[in-house]
Structures are given as C-alpha cells and as structure tokens.
Amino acid sequence: MMTEPPPRTPPSEDAIERAPHLDVPPRPVRNVLLAFAVALLWPLLLGGIGWSFGWLSAQAPDEFILLFGGLSVIFLMPIAFLIPQQAELMMMILIPVLWFAVVALLPYLLRRKLWNRTRLFLMLLGISLFSLIQCLMGLFMIAVKNV
C-alpha cells in the first residue's frame, strides 16, 4: 500500500539564504555577452592572420579599427566629405561606435523573441556573419592600401 508524501511546505527565508546558488546574469545580458564573444571572434582571428602575413602593422591603429568596420566605412564616407580636416578622427570614433551598437542592440531589441535556442542561434549566426563581412572588407582595404 502506497502512502502519500507529506505536503510540501515552502522553504523558510533562512534556508533560502543558506542554500548555495549561482549568480547568473539575466537572459538579455547573457545574450549580449554571447553576441560580443561571437562578433569578436572574426576580427581577432583574421587580424592575427593579417598580422602574420604582414598586412597589419602595429604602428597604424587605424588598420585595426578597419577590421571592426570595413563595410561601415563605405556608409560613413559622406561624413568624411563634409568634414575633411577631421575625417580620420571621425572614422576612428564612428566605426567602433557603430560596431558596438549593432552587436549590443540586436540582442537587446530581440530579447523577447530569443526564448528559443534556435532563434538565439540564428541571431548569433547573423551577428557572426555581420562581423565576418566587416572584417573581410576591412582586411581587403588594408591589403589593397599596402600594395
């Protein structure tokens, strides 16, 4: 004969305080951190390859910035024509800002739709492709400039 277990009582506040737990950041924060990890992969990987082949030099930091926004430079060129004296400085500021904005805002804006692992994977794949295209275009610009 089976006996029923006693009714479950909620744990007391002292028991909750003593229980070990992990401090896990909220889901949107985790998604943004994952997006940055995925997006940083391509500039670091292709930057290392470009540096090993001698296309990148440590004396020119603007070359490293191009790895994060090679395609963005095309869309930011009108600003360079409007302010020709400060064009390089504006590019050095706007390229990382645009890259960070895309990588951070996309997971934040899609935070309610990313409850499914498939959707999260597709978002991370899109960010990875964005980063890859930016990096390849930047590496191409650097390689052509140095020829």
- Over residues 107-114, the mean pLDDT reads 76
Read out DSSP for the chain?
-PPPPPPPPPPPHHHHHHS----PPPHHHHHHHHHHHHHHHHHHHHHHHHHHHTSS-TT-HHHHHHHHHTTHHHHHHHHHHHSSTTHHHHHHHHHHHHHHHHHHHHHHHTTTTTTSHHHHHHHHHHHHHHHHHHHHHHHHHHHHHT-
Model pTM above 0.85: no
Question: Which has the minimum average pLDDT: 69-73, 110-114, 125-129?
Answer: 110-114
Higher pLDDT, 125 or 143: 125
- Over residues 108-127, the mean pLDDT reads 81
Question: Which has the minimum average pLDDT: 13-17, 37-41, 103-107, 135-139?
Answer: 13-17
Predicted confidence at residue 21, as pLDDT, reads 59
Instruction: Say yes or no to pLDDT of 146 above 80.
Output: no
Q: For 1-57, how does the pLDDT look when each residue is reduced to its tens digit (9 = 90+)?
A: 567 777 777 766 666 566 555 565 677 788 888 889 999 998 889 888 877 877 776
Q: What's the angle, vertex CA 121, arms to CA 120 and CA 124, rounded to 5?
A: 85
